[in-house]
Structure 1
């Protein structure tokens, strides 16, 4: 982990990040899912739409997240625009780990997948953090903006994948 005295890379203000992701969700809704999600490419991350169950309301909540693939698993980071609070979707998953992910297949179609979430720990977390570092080189510097650690969230298939 880098020294906390290092200068953090520039980030747009949190209000801008929040506004961008709200606009992204709106674009996805307006185009009925035809625009707004993309699969990861070599050296880059993709986007998925995750629908969780609200921990307090029990209502379905959707969010668009960046992810990288790790075999059959989808891996994302529980960050909130690199701000201090945990994102609501992660709090929801901790209360109700079963969710639905809409993942682009790279051919213009979106696949719906039932997933079960868990926070990566130990060697798995270190390996997946390194995987994210490959696609976002300034990851450690951004993570230092948060007072606590950033959870690496694994969205594993809720059922075993076919052989």
Structure 2
């Protein structure tokens, strides 16, 4: 499957990655790695990607939902911003160089973007469990990508 969701033209303002946001992400990451606890009212994991331009590892806490066969579903929502989050582009460039951490465990994973009926089923599951994602979708004209992370063999 391809990573082909273009940026939109309208949407919510995406916060700048200033010192407060970086501190919050580090704090959340430590909690998630250690205990796998929910953060912001939902299950969360630490997503490690490889920067598409820099080749540097990037860690981002993201919410997740259970997928089929023990996979994890994540949404590239950026809270309804017009642009896809940086980690989406990093995954697209390196879908086989991804790692997740939660509850003291690390998993090497492979990513695929869901399309068509698979995306529709996952979207229903996600918006039922976390209605805020439907609100994020209303804020932007891009379709929010849903990514399935499966354990790498």
State whether TM-score is above 0.5.
Answer: yes
Higher helix proportion (structure 1 or 2):
2
Change (3 A) 1:153 1:38: same
Q: For 1:136 and 1:127, how far apart are their aligned partners in 2?
A: 14
Change (3 A) 1:91 1:45: same
> Could you say which structure has the larger radius of gyration?
1
What does the per-residue CA deviation read over 1:107-157, in whole Å, with 9 as the maximum and x for residues that have no partner? Answer: xxx210011111101111011101101211243232021121100111111
Change (3 A) 1:122 1:31: closer
Show structure 1 runs of 5+ residues with no match.
Answer: 1-10, 105-109
In structure 2, the residue matched to 1:125 is: 119
Indicate the structure whose relative CO is greater, using CA pairs within 8 Å and at least 6 residues apart.
2
In structure 2, the residue matched to 1:84 is: 82
TM-score scaled by length of structure 1: 0.73
Size of the alignment, in residue pairs? 139
Residue from 48, 51, 65 that aligns with 1:51: 48
Contact 1:113 1:157 in 2 (8 A): yes
Partner of 2:134, secondary structure, is: helix
Q: For 1:48 and 1:30, how far apart are their aligned partners in 2?
A: 10
Change (3 A) 1:33 1:101: closer
TM-score scaled by length of structure 2: 0.77
In structure 2, the residue matched to 1:34 is: 34
Show structure 2 runs of 5+ residues with no match.
Answer: 1-11
In structure 1, the residue matched to 2:93 is: 95
